[in-house]
Amino acid sequence: MSRKPRIRSGGGATMHDVARAAGVSAITVSRALNQPQQVSPQLREKVMQAVDALAYVPSRSARTLASARSRTVLVLIPSLDNTVFLDTLAGIESVLDAAGYQMLIGNSHYSAEQELLLLRAYLQHQPDGVLLTGLTHAAPFEDILRRRALPAVYMMDLADDGRCCVGFSQEAAGAAITRHLLERGKRRIGFLGAQLDERVMKRLDGYRAALDAAGLRDAGLEWLDPSPSSMRMGADMLDAALAARPDCDALFCCNDDLAIGALARCQQLGIAVPQRLALAGFNDLQPSAWCTPALTTVATPRREIGSHAARQLLRMIDGDEPDALQTDLGFQLMLRRSS
């Protein structure tokens, strides 16, 4: 009948230790910490003193196990190298922090497979909800969410299929910036695309739609490369584009990295921007306002997408309906000297 108490890991005090020190029961400690108004001021005071004295830190795993709520949210993003997602994370963080939730960050490296693996792995933590980037995911993904009744909010884009999304229309943004180039009098407008994720392809769709509407679409003016974008790649793609189509008079680059690289290359080659070739990017990263000439681009409400998505998710976790299934946070054309 010999009990063999195991060795505690952290060596820290447990709730029972605190209870003993305060001369109350464990459940009173629990309540003093989590629902203070349910405990009389005197006891509460005693408990808090014992907590301080013992430097008590509650165990999240025990709490999660007992309550079946982890107060944790899983955030899946395609990359940590991209300012866009970091700004989004910052927005999410601000809201979750304030609500006492913690976030688990999963980096899918732009791979739907990886993303599925991450979901499976992080499911072990029993997150209370999930924030996702984009609308397209591996086949079993949504099944898993549904089976577990896991609230999810989709960020960055819009869908009209019952999923809760916070973002803006990538396609409309792509079309808008293309129309701007048309208005500037450009007629042979090309598209430079890298990474080729879902959002880039929608910007491409928007670009095509705008040119179709103007009767100026030319498939020979599209350059697409699935490898990750970078400034170097922008420079290389500019070379390739001008070599293939010297008549091209404007380029919509799928993001600012590409555009800045292309712009720098134009400077080196002495190509007049925007007279000979207009350039536009996407996202309005910090350097875009500072390069020469300053880059025309599309500002996207990344931080707001993150914070709003987090708020919606918390509402769903609490069993309430989200404010609206779709939240369109819009975008803004930043018209500068490069166009």
Give the interface with DNA as residue ranges (CB under 7 A): 1, 3-6, 8-9, 14-16, 24-28, 30-31, 33-34, 37-40, 42-44, 56, 58-59, 62-63, 65-69
Residue 237 engages its own copies in binding (rule: CB under 8 A): no
Given its own copies, DNA, none, residue 105, with its beta carbon under 5 to 8 Å by kind, binds its own copies
Count of beta carbons in the 10 Å neighbourhood of residue 46: 20
Given DNA, its own copies, none, residue 16, with its beta carbon under 5 to 8 Å by kind, binds DNA
Pick 59 or 326: Cβ nearer DNA: 59
Pick 116 or 175: Cβ nearer its own copies: 116
C-alpha distances (whole Å) from 151 to each of 57, 124, 154, 284, 310 are 29, 16, 10, 31, 11
DSSP class of 185 = T
**Cis status of the peptide bond prior to 301, with omega within 30 of 0:** no
> Do the strands 152-156 and 102-107 form a parallel or antiparallel pair, or are they unpaired?
unpaired
Instruction: Give Cα 148 distance to the centre of its chain.
Output: 23
- Tell me the Cα Rg of the chain: 26
* Binding to its own copies, residues 72-131 (CB under 8 A): 80-81, 83, 86-87, 89-90, 93, 102-105, 107, 120-126
Nearest to 79 by CA among 304, 299, 255: 255
Given DNA, its own copies, none, residue 148, with its beta carbon under 5 to 8 Å by kind, binds its own copies
Given DNA, its own copies, none, residue 138, with its beta carbon under 5 to 8 Å by kind, binds none
Pick from 96, 135, 291, 314: which binds its own copies (CB under 8 A)? 291
Torsion of CA 140, 92, 199, 282, to 10 degrees: -170
**Cis status of the peptide bond prior to 293, with omega within 30 of 0:** yes
d(CA 159, CA 177): 21
Mask: binding to its own copies, 1-40, rule CB under 8 A, as x and -? -----xxxxxxx----------------------------
Pick 6 or 243: Cβ nearer DNA: 6
d(CA 121, CA 106): 10
Given its own copies, DNA, none, residue 24, with its beta carbon under 5 to 8 Å by kind, binds DNA
Pick 79 or 332: Cβ nearer its own copies: 79
Segment (H or E) for 27: helix 26-34
How many residues touch its own copies (CB under 8 A)? 59
Q: Give residues in contact with its own copies (CB under 8 A).
A: 6-12, 55, 57-65, 68-70, 80-81, 83, 86-87, 89-90, 93, 102-105, 107, 120-126, 144, 147-150, 230-231, 235, 257, 260-261, 264, 267, 286-287, 289-292
